[in-house]
């Protein structure tokens, strides 16, 4: 309870009558790496700006270390942001950029120089003190922005898609580095991304946002393996959503009708006639096994790197995607196939 | 976002490929260069030559070369005129900056719709010939003018005030005529500021005032400087302002040149003053361009962010 460093409760925000955040609740634990994951436009940046104080909520509370900070200006909040565009000051060199927050705090000049050098070492930019900002590469700018946000030792660091503008290789490298820094400093990170892989790689917990609310907030593996909603399941790991109807219930298990066939699903408390949604990861779709019984047609076959991706269309016109690593298949477009899954690989979602 | 990435890419490898193919453009610019040579460099060269010619009176001159025209300017009368002109130019530039900077910055913070309206309002006076505008001011300010009439009617004053024909009127006239240049150039540089920079500074602990002085002001210095140049240079030469509003009591370099050409009939001397004026303003111009350039280099970074 008391290790919550930041609590957003019932936060609403709308722009020009369009509501962007709808009764958002969020608790952030001290020292954790929390990722806000969600599609473009779902309100991630807005949430971050409200935490930073750059925007104010229409209603609801922002409580930082037990104090309501809603009426505090951004400069009065012990929270720093790394902007996606870096927002480095073009008229200052690297050293001046990083020293900026310290100068505002009237830290003596010698100490500023010392702390700037310290942090430059930390982000592996030693000796870059007098480089001019426009001449830095994307990755270097990123590090400077990070150093500038870290140097004044804020309680929480907010990062808005900080790696969005970097190429894949650099992004991987910076992911590892960010994680290293976060652990080293024991600092609370709130990190925005719409890259599920990035989120899964780095986070202690992931909050999946959809349309102005947080649909699920859990540890990365829980989000991946036990999604609670079909949105979470399809956004994180691109799961297939299987929609079935409970035909009958016997001994804590339901007979679920799907595509002219039935399968058993064990869970107490299900009722006949109920519509159920299940998440089935693409890598868990089994093709043409002896006990496969769902009919489908291959409509697309493609290679994604080392991965073979097959799109099926079921009898009831639903698309099912199957992926396999390193396995070639004689299947081609138009082939009829049977598919199935293992019982333990199917997850009930959108269900209280 | 795409724009930033492209700019970043160019910056990363440090080269600007495929940008050197400029020759076709140069060819297209030849007519422009011809016009420039004909209308700008030509008259300038002729003026310099003329300034070394010998005056024979009544607008006539002979090509016997002499430095007499320059020697004559050592005369205190002319020196005082020069200093007075520079002083007036400095003062009016200062006033223009003090009024124009806040105004231009304020305009840049307006909504799109209001920006358009304000730009229009600032630019409209340019649609009317400036001579006509200055005569308009006389109608407003003269002893039996509109303003005095109004003040008398309202019983705020008992006798008409002499607004015209003194130093402050000329100063006010300069400010009035040149203010739009300052407003527009400050506006255009303030408009370009990436507002996330200001948000970043606030986020990092700056109060609104600190953010203004550490971020906004430095980034608008190039605009302020071009505004300064655009007000200083013309206010050295705008002879008709002092002529119309100063009633010939305030003699500035501009009017001196005009006087020498018309009434004085001494073209070589007028040319020499003109050359000196050009040199003085050029030196001031280059000096400020230097400072502005230093700032401008850093401003380029603005686009990258
Ligand atoms: N200042 C604003 N004025 C009007 N609408 C805004 C403003 N800021 C955000 N919005 C709208 O609010 C919605 C959420 O925006 P937000 O920037 O929070 O999304 P996001 O989740 O960060 O998306 P992305 O991943 O694309 O950055 C969007 O539809 C956006 O158009
Ligand atoms: Mg965003």
Q: Where are the domains of chain B?
A: 76-304
A56 lies within 8 A of chain B by CB: no
Instruction: Output the CATH code of domain A238-349.
Output: 2.40.50.100
Average pLDDT of chain A to the nearest whole number = 90
Measured from the Cβ of residue B251, the count of other Cβ atoms closer than 10 Å reads 19
Q: What are phi and psi of B262, to 5 degrees?
A: -90, -80
C-alpha–C-alpha distance, residues A163 and A171, integer Å: 6
Nearest to A310 by CA among B56, B58, A318, A320: A320
pLDDT at B3 (0 to 100): 37
Q: What is the mean pLDDT of residues A103-115?
A: 94
Structure confidence at residue B269 (pLDDT): 92
Q: Strand pairing partners for A250?
A: A253
Count of helices and strands (H, E) across chain B: 15, 2
pLDDT of residue A18: 93
Q: Residue B57's pLDDT is what? A: 79
| Residue A348 reports pLDDT greater than 80 | yes
Q: Residue A231: how many CB atoms within 10 A of its CB?
A: 21
Angle between helices A109-122 and A94-104 (to 10 degrees): 130
Cross-chain residue pair B202–A88, CB shorter than 8 Å: no
Mutate to test the interface with A, among B200, B215, B219, B303 (most CBs of A within 10 A): B200
A236 to chain B nearest CA, in Å? 25
β-sheet bridge partners, residue B61: B55
pTM of the model: 0.80
Least confident residue range of A102-111, A242-251, B22-31, B289-298: B289-298
Contact B204 A75 (CB under 8 A): yes
Give the Cα separation of B218 and B221 in Å (integer): 5
Distances, alpha carbon A273 to alpha carbons A201, A234, A246, B254, in Å: 40, 25, 5, 96
Q: How far B231 CA lies from chain A's nearest CA (Å)?
A: 25
Sorting pLDDT into bands at 50, 70 and 90, what band is A238? Answer: confident
Mean pLDDT within A165-176: 87
Min CA distance, A177 vs chain B (Å)? 21
**C-beta atoms of B200 and A152 within 8 A:** no
Q: Count of CB atoms within 10 A of residue A58's CB?
A: 14
For strand A307-314 and strand A319-325, is the pairing parallel, antiparallel, or unpaired?
A: antiparallel
| Candidates 3.90.550.10, 3.20.20.10, 3.30.2130.10, 3.40.50.300; CATH matching A4-231 | 3.40.50.300
Write out residues 209-238 of B within 8 Å (CB-CB) of A: 210, 214-215, 218-219
Minimal Cβ distance to B12: which of A74, A89, A137: A137
Alpha-carbon distances, residue B7 vs A87, A199, B3, B168, B229 (angstroms): 14, 28, 6, 49, 30
Please report which residue ranges of B142-166 form alpha helices under DSSP H.
146-153
Percent of chain A with pLDDT over 90: 59
Residue A225 CA to ligand 2 centre (angstroms): 26
Contact B201, B208 (CB under 8 A): no
Q: Which residues of chain B have pLDDT under 70?
A: 1-24, 292-305
What is B76-304's CATH number?
Answer: 1.10.3720.10
- What tens digit of pLDDT does each residue of A284-320 get? 998 888 888 899 999 988 887 778 889 999 888 888 9
Tell which B residues from 145 to 204 touch A, by Cβ distance under 8 Å.
Answer: 194, 196-197, 199-204
Ligand 1 atom, smallest distance to A48 CA: 18
Rounded mean pLDDT, A30-52:
94
Q: Residue A198: is its pLDDT beyond 50?
A: yes
**C-beta of residue A337 within 8 angstroms of C-beta of residue A288:** yes
CATH 3.40.50.300 positions along chain A are: 4-231
| pLDDT at residue number B17 | 43
Cα–Cα separations (whole angstroms), residue B39 to B44, B46, B272? 9, 11, 19
Cβ distance of B199 and A164 shorter than 8 Å: no
Question: What phi and psi values does residue A158 have, to the nearest 5 degrees?
Answer: -105, 130
* Least confident range of A15-19, A27-31, B60-64: B60-64
Which residues of chain A does CATH 2.40.50.100 include?
238-349
Q: Does B62 touch chain A (CB under 8 A)?
A: no
């Amino acid at each position: 309870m008391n290790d919550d460093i930041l609590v957003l409760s019932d936060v609403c925000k709308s722009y020009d009558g369009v509501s962007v955040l709808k009764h958002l609740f969020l608790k952030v634990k001290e020292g954790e790496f929390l990722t806000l994951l969600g599609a473009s436009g779902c309100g991630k940046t807005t949430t971050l700006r409200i935490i930073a104080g750059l925007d104010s909520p229409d209603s609801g509370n922002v409580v930082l270390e037990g104090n309501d900070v809603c009426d505090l200006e951004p400069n009065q909040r012990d929270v720093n942001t790394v902007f996606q565009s870096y927002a480095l000051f073009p008229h200052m060199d690297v050293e001046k950029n990083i020293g900026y927050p310290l100068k505002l705090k009237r830290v003596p000049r010698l100490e500023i120089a010392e702390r700037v050098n310290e942090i430059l070492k930390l982000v592996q930019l030693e000796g870059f003190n007098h480089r001019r900002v426009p001449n830095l590469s994307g990755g270097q700018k990123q590090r400077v922005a990070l150093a500038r946000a870290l140097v004044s030792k804020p309680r929480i660091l907010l990062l808005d898609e900080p790696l969005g503008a970097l190429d894949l290789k650099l992004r991987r490298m910076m992911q590892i580095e960010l994680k290293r820094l976060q652990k080293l400093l024991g600092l609370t990170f709130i990190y925005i991304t719409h890259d599920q892989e990035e989120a899964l790689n780095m986070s202690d917990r992931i909050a999946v946002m959809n349309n102005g609310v947080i649909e699920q907030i859990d540890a990365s593996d829980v989000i991946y393996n036990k999604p609670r909603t079909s949105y979470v399941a399809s956004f994180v790991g691109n799961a297939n959503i299987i929609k079935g109807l409970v035909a009958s219930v016997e001994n804590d298990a339901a007979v679920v009708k799907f595509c002219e066939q039935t399968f058993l699903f064990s869970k107490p408390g299900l009722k006949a006639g109920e519509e159920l949604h299940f998440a089935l990861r693409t890598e868990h779709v089994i093709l043409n096994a002896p006990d496969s019984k769902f009919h489908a047609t291959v409509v697309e076959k493609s290679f994604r790197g080392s991965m073979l991706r097959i799109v099926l269309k079921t009898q009831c016109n639903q698309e099912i995607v199957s992926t396999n690593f390193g396995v070639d298949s004689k299947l081609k477009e138009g082939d009829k196939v049977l598919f199935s899954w293992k019982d333990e690989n199917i997850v009930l979602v959108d269900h209280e | 976002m795409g724009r930033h990435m492209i700019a970043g890419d160019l910056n990363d490898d440090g080269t600007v490929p495929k940008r050197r193919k400029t020759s076709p453009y140069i060819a297209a610019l030849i007519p422009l260069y011809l016009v420039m040579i004909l209308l700008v460099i030509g008259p300038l060269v002729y003026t310099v030559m003329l300034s070394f010619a010998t005056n024979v009176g009544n607008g006539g001159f002979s090509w016997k070369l002499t430095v007499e025209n320059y020697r004559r300017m050592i005369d205190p009368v002319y020196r005082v005129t020069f200093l007075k002109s520079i002083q007036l130019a400095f003062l009016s530039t200062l006033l223009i900056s003090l009024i124009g900077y806040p105004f231009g910055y304020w305009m840049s913070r307006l909504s799109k719709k209001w920006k358009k309206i304000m730009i229009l309002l600032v630019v409209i006076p340019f649609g009317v010939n400036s001579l006509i505008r200055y005569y308009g001011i006389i109608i407003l300010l003269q002893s039996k003018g509109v303003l005095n009439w109004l003040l008398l009617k309202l019983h705020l004053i008992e006798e008409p005030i002499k607004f015209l024909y003194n130093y402050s009127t000329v100063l006010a006239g300069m400010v009035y005529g040149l203010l739009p240049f300052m407003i527009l150039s400050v506006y255009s540089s303030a408009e370009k500021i990436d507002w996330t920079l200001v948000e970043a500074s606030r986020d990092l602990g700056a109060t609104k005032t600190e953010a203004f002085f550490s971020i906004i002001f430095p980034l608008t210095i190039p605009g302020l400087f071009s505004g300064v140049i655009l007000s200083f240079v013309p206010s050295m030469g705008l002879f008709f302002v002092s002529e119309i509003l100063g009633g010939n009591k305030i003699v500035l370099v501009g009017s001196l040149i005009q006087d020498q050409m018309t009434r004085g009939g001494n073209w070589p001397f007028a040319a020499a003053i003109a050359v000196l004026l050009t040199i003085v303003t050029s030196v001031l111009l280059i000096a400020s361009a230097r400072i502005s350039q230093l700032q401008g280099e850093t401003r380029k970074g603005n686009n990258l962010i």
